[in-house]
Amino acid sequence: AQSVAQPEDQVNVAEGNPLTVKCTYSVSGNPYLFWYVQYPNRGLQFLLKYITGDNLVKGSYGFEAEFNKSQTSFHLKKPSALVSDSALYFCAVRDDSTDKLIFGTGTRLQVFP
C-alpha cells in the first residue's frame, strides 16, 4: 500500500542553523515525491519535487531535498534557516500504479530568532 511517514511532529531550530525535516515513503510502483508548505489559514504551496536521476533536488525559498532510494527517504533540508520558514511542511508521494496523491501527517517547523 502507498504511504508516507513524517516521524517528527515538530522540529525546532535556531535562525541561521541548518534544518532537516524527515520523510520516508512506501510505494509499489515508481515514486514521485513532493514537498509542500502551509502557512496559517492558507492552502498548501508547492516547494519542490523529485525528478528521476537527481538525488539532490533544489526548490523554492532555498530549500532542497535529498532522495535516497535504499532508505526510501526524501528529507527536506535548508542550509540556513529563517524565522519566516516557520510553517507546516508536508511530504507527499504519487504512485504511478494508482494515481493517488498521498500526504504525510505534516511536521511543524519552528525557527527561533
Partner 1 sequence: NAGVTQTPKFRVLKTGQSMTLLCAQDMNHEYMYWYRQDPGMGLRLIHYSVGEGTTAKGEVPDGYNVSRLKKQNFLLGLESAAPSQTSVYFCASSSNFPNTEAFFGQGTRLTVV
Question: Strands 10-14 and 107-112: what pairing?
Answer: parallel
* 54 part of the interface to partner 1, by CB under 8 A: no
* 102 part of the interface to partner 1, by CB under 8 A: yes
Which range, of 12-20, 38-46, 62-70, 74-82, touches partner 1 by CB under 8 A? 38-46
Question: Strands 19-21 and 73-78: what pairing?
Answer: antiparallel
**Between residues 17 and 97, which has the closer beta carbon with respect to partner 1?**
97
* 71 part of the interface to partner 1, by CB under 8 A: no
| Cell triple for 97 | 500504479
- The dihedrals phi and psi of 27, each to the nearest 5 degrees, come to -140, 160
Q: List beta partners, residue 91.
A: 35
Chain residues binding partner 1 by CB under 8 A are 6, 9, 30, 32, 34, 36, 41-46, 49-52, 90, 92, 94, 96, 99-106
